[in-house]
Amino acid sequence: MRKIALCMELSDFYEHGIARGLVRYAKSKPDWRLYGYGWMFRALADIEGWEGDGIIARVEDDTTADRLSRLGLPVVDVAGAYARPNFISVTNDDFLTGYRAAVHLTGCGFQRFAFLGVSGTRWSEERRSGFFKAIADSASSPGDRALWPCFERPLAWWEDKAQTNGGYGDAELVGFFSGLEPPIALFACNDTTGLRATEYAGKLGIAVPEELAILGVDNEDILCELSSPSLSSVMLDCEAIGYRAAVVLDSVLGGQPEFARITVPPREVAERESTRIFTCEDELVARAATYIRAHAQEGIDVSDVLPVVSASRRSLETRYRRALGRSLHDEIVWARIAWAKRLLGGTSYTLGRVAQESGFGALGRFHEAFKGAEGLSPGEWRRKNREGRQ
């Protein structure tokens, strides 16, 4: 029997996803026995005295990294914050996560950007790099979009609530947010920092998303929904990370060459109120686009948009095409497809229900629009994305 330790507390959405992927793989391997903390595993009271074969761990500090490294066992690290010679890294693609965050925020029309990060960790640094790379790539000319402020502190600083509850950290954050020039889009490296951003925006009377759009990472769905306003977040494929980590560890235990680092692409953005806006110089276009992105899944059409902006259809269509290069109808379809992709990737809804929930109504209309935009039918798109998570 192969004895495999899972070293994490299962205290958040990320770790729950990792565990689901690991358990799914372990169930297909009758010779695997899982050890961990809590009643659902065989007991793992002290990793340093444990006699097993391999470890899958979320390594979040140098002390833990050093302790696991000294055991001399194969370790698959699913956090990617600290490198050690005998660690194999199976993590989220953090550079791509930052890149996709910037694509989403530039797609909301923003020209100014800021970053909130965790210093001293590779995953936060790579998310920052990907974010600013995408901003540079989207600029029409060098210097068209400037790189704006970064605020980065160690993980322990963010987790110490006293720091930001009247302590010196409170003054630092107040100074950072007070110095941002609206309208501006903020990419927070995870939901913890994103939720802190919504908190300080509220304290300082900064309107979200009108003055400050905020996008986090991890999609801790309950916390994101309870935030005021609710927090948009890049969804990570945690179950795929856990499954791949188990596959890699099994291969190494079977005598296969060790891997250095494997990354799993993030999923789409779960958009909520904190980024549900479009900003541009034409105020009517901005108002129309913001309304469409908030209500497209409700089955609206162009006639429902006109009262919101108090403009004629001809005038608004002309201004919309001039600003964005597409029609109002195209914008509605685009927003519905974005919503449909979130449902296809994150639920087991039937295609008929996805068509209804995303505002298309008829399944045939949904199929035609989706295939025209994505080059795949909704069913093919779902299968392709789920196969990529194995």
Residue range 134-163, pLDDT digits in tens: 998 876 555 544 557 999 998 888 877 656
pLDDT score, position 92? 94
Structure tokens of 56? Answer: 């899958």
Residue 40 has pLDDT above 60, yes or no: no
State percent of the chain over pLDDT 70. 90
Report the alpha-carbon distance of residue 273 to residue 208 in Å, rounded: 8
pLDDT score, position 342? 81
pLDDT score, position 294? 85
Query: Which residue's entry shows tokens 């950007």?
Result: 113
Report the alpha-carbon distance of residue 337 to residue 389 in Å, rounded: 21
CATH ID of 2-92+239-264, from 3.90.550.10, 3.10.20.600, 3.30.460.40, 3.40.50.2300: 3.40.50.2300
SS3 (DSSP) at 235: coil
Task: Assess contact for 94 and 126: CB atoms under 8 A.
Answer: yes
Residues of the chain within CATH 1.10.10.60 domain(s) are 283-387
Residue range 98-144, pLDDT digits in tens: 999 999 999 888 989 999 999 988 899 999 999 999 998 876 555 54
Q: Which residues of 187-206 are buried (b: 16+ CB within 10 A; e: fewer)?
A: bbbbbbbbbbbbebbeeeeb
* CB neighbours of residue 108 within 10 Å: 23
pLDDT score, position 196? 92
Average pLDDT over residues 228-244: 94
Q: Domain 94-237+269-275, what architecture?
A: 3-Layer(aba) Sandwich (3.40)
Query: What value does the mean pLDDT of the chain take?
Result: 87
Residue 388 has pLDDT above 80, yes or no: no
Residue 56 has pLDDT above 90, yes or no: yes
Residue range 239-265, pLDDT digits in tens: 999 999 999 999 998 887 666 788 999
CA-to-CA dists, residue 376 to 245, 336, 381, angstroms: 30, 16, 6
User: What type of residue sits at position 95?
Assistant: F
pLDDT score, position 45? 57
The larger pLDDT score, comparing residue 17 to residue 38, is at: 17
| CATH no., domain 283-387 | 1.10.10.60
Residues of the chain within CATH 3.40.50.2300 domain(s) are 2-92+239-264, 94-237+269-275
Structure tokens of 107? Answer: 């797609």
CA-to-CA dists, residue 75 to 72, 126, 215, angstroms: 9, 22, 32
State percent of the chain over pLDDT 90. 47
pLDDT score, position 327? 92
Q: What pLDDT band is residue 187 in, cutting at 50, 70 and 90?
A: very high
Identify the sign of the CA torsion 209, 230, 119, 108: negative
DSSP conformational letter for 231: P
Average pLDDT over residues 330-336: 91
